[in-house]
Amino acid sequence: MTAILFVDCETSDLLKRDLALDDLSQPWCVSIAAVLAVPGRPDQEINLPIRAEGRKIRAGAEAVHGVSSREAAKHGVPEVAVLAVLCWLAAQAECVVGHGIGFDRDVVTSVLMRRGKDSRLWTRPGLTFHDTMKLATPFCRIPSVFDDGGFKWPSLDEASSILLGEPPRAGEHSAKDDLQRTRRLWAWLCDHNAVETAA
């Protein structure tokens, strides 16, 4: 039996790779969608916007997910509460799955560190992270822009279109939309033996 936590985060900006993860100018999670799937049990899921608390959302990020700083300030849930639920779900999981999960893992780790929380609540030893973006790359076979003979990492829409036959989305998308696509993509990858540890 494998307990899988599917996660997607919409963020205020891209990570600043030249700064430490606990730097106050790193991005924050605007919304988090997560589903804990355990065979034989009903799914446990969240899809929550996070309160801005005076922080801003970059215009480019808002164009992707459609959440403004004003909306996040007015309708968001306290960040500490959302992180507590996410870490509680992760504590029950054997692995975490997401599309570009390394980015989401680092943003959540960054937010926990800035809150003075132990990031091992989220990235504990033994908890594995599986990236559908990297796993889908050899199946999508999108030529790389670099002349290295390799393949480009597919966006979620590219992978869903090529492997699942789902049309690319136009305009904004939510964390929940991404999560649902990622879950279907994961199932496809498991069916095609892309993941040895999948149950």
Q: Would you give the DSSP letter of residue 112?
A: H
User: What confidence tier does 199 reach under pLDDT thresholds 50, 70, 90?
Assistant: very low
| Residue at which a domain ends, from 80, 102, 130 | 130
Note whether 182 and 158 are within 8 A (CB): no
Residues 126 and 137 in one domain: no
**Domains: count for the chain:** 2
| Among candidate residues 88, 115, 130, the one where a domain is terminated | 130
pLDDT recorded at residue 1: 54
pLDDT attached to residue 144: 84
Strands (DSSP E) found in 1-110: 4-11, 29-37, 44-49, 95-98
The residues, any chain, with a CB within 8 Å of residue 56's CB and separated by 6 or more, are 12, 69
The answer to whether residues 163 and 107 belong to one domain is no
Q: How far apart are CA 133 and CA 171, in angstroms?
A: 20
- 26: domain range? 4-130
Same domain, 60 and 139: no
Residue 156 is inside which H or E element, if any? helix 156-159
Q: Give 49-71 pLDDT, tens digit per residue.
A: 999 999 999 999 998 888 999 99
Check pLDDT > 50 for residue 198: no
CATH number at residue 98: 3.30.420.10
Residues 99, 21 share a domain: yes
User: Looking at the domain assignment, is residue 55 inside a domain?
Assistant: yes
- My answer on whether 119 and 182 are in the same domain is no
Largest CA distance in the chain: 48
Q: In the prediction, which pLDDT does 174 show?
A: 87
Q: Are residues 163 and 69 part of one domain?
A: no
Same domain, 110 and 177: no
Q: At 129, which helix (H) or strand (E)?
A: strand 128-131
Name the helix (H) or strand (E) containing 128.
strand 128-131
Tell whether 100 and 125 lie within a shared domain.
yes
Per residue in 66-117, pLDDT tens? Answer: 899 999 999 999 999 999 999 999 999 999 999 999 999 999 999 999 999 9
Do 138 and 49 share a domain, yes or no? no
Same domain for 120 and 44, yes or no, is: yes
User: Beta-carbon neighbour count of residue 19 at 10 Å?
Assistant: 12
- Same domain, yes or no, for 58 and 80? yes
